[in-house]
Structure 1
Amino acid sequence: MEAFYRTHNYLLEHTASPVRRQLMDEINWNDRLIGIKGSRGVGKTTFLLEYAREFYGCNNKECLYINLNHFYFTERSLVDFVAEFRAKGGKVLLIDQVFKYPDWSRELRYCYDNYPDVRIVFSGSSVMRLKEENPDLSGCVKSYNLRGFSFREYINLMVGTSFPSFTLDEILKDHVEIAERICSEVKPMAFLHDYLHHGYYPFFLEKRNFSENLLKTMNMMLEVDVLYIKQIEQSYLPKLRKLLYLLAISAPCVPNVSQLSKEIETSRATVMNYIKYLTDARLMNMLYPEGDSFPKKPAKVYMNNTNLMYPIRPMAVNHQALRETFFYNVVHKDNKLNVGMKNTHFLVERQHQFKIEESLKGKTNPDIFYAVEKVEIGYENVIPLWLFGFLY
């Protein structure tokens, strides 16, 4: 146990979050079992450690971070560890890499039922379905999603500002005033291109080649987050990788499932399942007409975020695809998106039609909102594209 406390304190002293994540304030930390999901590379470990630092500080044995990837847990049960932690005054256990431990959901449920004075916060892959696939946790786990940096968080990090986030309704109603207030302190458009290229994943701050690091992360998403967690045979990895490549080089696109099934030599149903796995891993996004959902074929598939578009085709990234992907990624967090109608790109919350444009020429339609890249401060129903990056 003491060795884990030493590791905990070392990590708190040497791991710092470059910017405070908004999710920290969205979680009800009084819940006794909290699951934090997120794709590989978005900073789940750092987030857990930042919580420990902010609420407990170093050398406080009431809170402990552990990684279930540790060999110690090959012979010691999690239940026994929690019992010892509790006996020594422990109150909050932060568990990383929970899926590496066999029967983890059953043992977490046992701890929840038998140690009501211990709160457990665990991290997991975005591929995990905590409630649907783990009936042991039904009714007791509160699940949250940690995303990559928003454009707002990126600007706060790069400039040292502390801009708040805004709801979609606030932006639609007050976008001119909000944009004027932000632009009085910083020029957001000067940062947008860099964010689209490398600002989503926190590891862009590391002194390593970002594109190579992201390619490695993408492969790990496939090999661990999809194959390992979904228990798919390793021999199917080349098919998954090829499918991701074929979709990525044409996204956003209407997927030709019959053609894709020929290309990767598998059935149409398997192609659809693979696309769902890629979506769960936060590599792709699926867009449906209103009223449709999986397992139906999506109307379009997008890359999950714009950073993913560059490593696969660094010299041929389509700028309109970038704009649409950025909008989908940031608006999708708290709002429902469907295929737009009447020459629009997106229907948001079943009521707002959006067109995503580089610039505007000619008259606008009063029934449509325009998210425009080359507009710093908008007017009426014309809203700067960058401002949607302040939704979280």
Structure 2
Amino acid sequence: MIDFTLFFQEQQRLIESIPYRYRRYLYEQIEWNERCLLITRQRGVGKTTMILQHLKEHYRDDTSALYISVDNPYFKNISLYEFAMEFEKFGGEVLYIDEIHKYHEWATHIKSLYDSSRLKLIISGSSMIQINKQQADLSRRVVSYRLANLSFREYLLFKNIAVFEACTFDEILSDHVAIASRIIGRIKPLAHFKTYLTEGCYPFMIEHEKSYTYHLIGIINQILEVDMPYATHIRYAQIDKIKKLIYLLSTSVPVKPNISKLAASVDVSRPTLVEYLHYLELGSLINTVNQKARGYGVLSKPDKLLMYNTNLMHAISHNADKGTRREAFFVNQIKSAAYNIPRLIDERILLAPEGD
């Protein structure tokens, strides 16, 4: 028999300390009543905080809901499936499962729980490289959401500078003069935008302001040194070459990449480089952009390679090109805005055949 007392005590400690004043944009978009939810994306964007905020709001003193993090050593010795089924026997109805990517064969356990219990499952995971390998098995059972880094609007909110309503891309195109007038009537955006580009994309900027870059480098190293070797056949000895690749992308000017030359510069084959780029995009370290294409053209190499956001660029090198930073910011925002709109082929943003 499992004693859940310690888990509820830890849960109470967490929800008492969790900030509740501001919530990420995705909180209001999630259909929380779904039977099984999976919230993913890069480390540090606020997934754990968000699910704990939901727990605090709806089940604060209710023992029918429980939060667990499966990176707890306890789960090295007990089956997640058995733990959850035992929780249901004792009146459990909602199970929040964090750090799911750290549990071996997690998709098998979630699938079995979905089929064998009536538990509502709210799951969070950071390593998209690991999650992507198993997520397809749950496509009919799980509703997935991806949480992007902070937008400039959210940065202003979290820093207590100003509160603005979100605007759609169509609204910006059709009414940009009025929107800009409302903003500059309240703040001087450029006075804050520079800081946002260097240290404003992640919520931990608030509690780790002085060590922000240190934490960003830690996220990069975790993805490269832990996630990639664990979830792929990439040997640890190759990680230094991938780090060199990221440095080159952080400091390059915004031109169409020559994949063969880029592969030679990091001493790997062209197919290997393309594979590395795929995993780096899964890990939310880079964004790729293609030109509009038809037929087999959609399978071609990327026409633009950019770091996932400008904060990562700045953490790696303070000499990032201004034009590259501008493009990285734009691509990041456009792709993030459409993260949770399902598509077979990603055509949210495409390069024009000519011009910028």
Q: Same fold (TM over 0.5)?
A: yes
Counterpart of 1:333? 336
Counterpart of 1:307? 311
Superimposed CA distance per residue, residues 299-320 of structure 1 (whole angstroms, 9 cap, x where no aligned partner): 1101111111112221x22222
Superimposed CA distance per residue, residues 147-172 of structure 1 (whole angstroms, 9 cap, x where no aligned partner): 11111111112235432211111111
Alignment of 1:60-139 (within 5 A): 60-116=62-118, 118-125=119-126, 127-128=128-129, 133-139=134-140
Aligned 8 A contact 2:252 2:321 in 1: no
Counterpart of 2:170? 169
Unaligned runs of 5+ in 2: 339-347
Counterpart of 2:286? 284
Aligned length: 341
Matched-pair identity in %: 36
- How far apart, in 2, do the equivalents of 1:180 and 1:261 lie? 46
Counterpart of 1:197? 198
Aligned 8 A contact 1:305 1:326 in 2: yes
Counterpart of 2:230? 228
Q: How far 1:274 sits from its partner (Å)?
A: 0.2
Counterpart of 1:318? 321
- How far apart, in 1, do the equivalents of 2:231 and 2:133 lie? 14
Match of 1:269 among 264, 268, 271: 271
Counterpart of 2:345? none
Cα distance change, pair 295–275 in 1 and its aligned pair in 2 (3 A):
farther
Aligned 8 A contact 1:251 1:303 in 2: no
Q: How far 1:94 sits from its partner (Å)?
A: 1.0
Cα distance change, pair 242–131 in 1 and its aligned pair in 2 (3 A):
closer
Unaligned runs of 5+ in 1: 345-392
Counterpart of 1:373? none
Q: Let me know the Cα RMSD of the aligned residues.
A: 2.0
- How far apart, in 2, do the equivalents of 1:132 and 1:228 lie? 11
Of Structure 1 and Structure 2, the greater helix share is in 2
Aligned 8 A contact 2:291 2:353 in 1: no
- How far apart, in 1, do the equivalents of 2:171 and 2:133 lie? 34
Regions of 4+ moved over 6 Å: none
Q: How far 1:31 sits from its partner (Å)?
A: 0.9
Give, as a single letter, the amino acid of the residue that structure 1 aligns with 2:124. S
Superimposed CA distance per residue, residues 231-250 of structure 1 (whole angstroms, 9 cap, x where no aligned partner): 53322222221221222221
Q: How far 1:49 sits from its partner (Å)?
A: 1.1
Q: How far 1:129 sits from its partner (Å)?
A: 7.4
Match of 2:46 among 17, 27, 43: 43
- Normalising to structure 2: TM-score of the pair? 0.89
Aligned 8 A contact 1:130 1:137 in 2: no
Q: Does 1:152 align with 2:156?
A: no
Aligned 8 A contact 2:159 2:206 in 1: no
Counterpart of 2:261? 259
- How far apart, in 2, do the equivalents of 1:72 and 1:160 lie? 42
More displaced, 161-170 or 246-255? 246-255
Aligned 8 A contact 1:285 1:302 in 2: yes
Give, as a single letter, the amino acid of the residue that structure 1 aligns with 2:288. M
Counterpart of 1:372? none
Cα distance change, pair 130–221 in 1 and its aligned pair in 2 (3 A):
closer
Superimposed CA distance per residue, residues 119-138 of structure 1 (whole angstroms, 9 cap, x where no aligned partner): 11111235247577444312
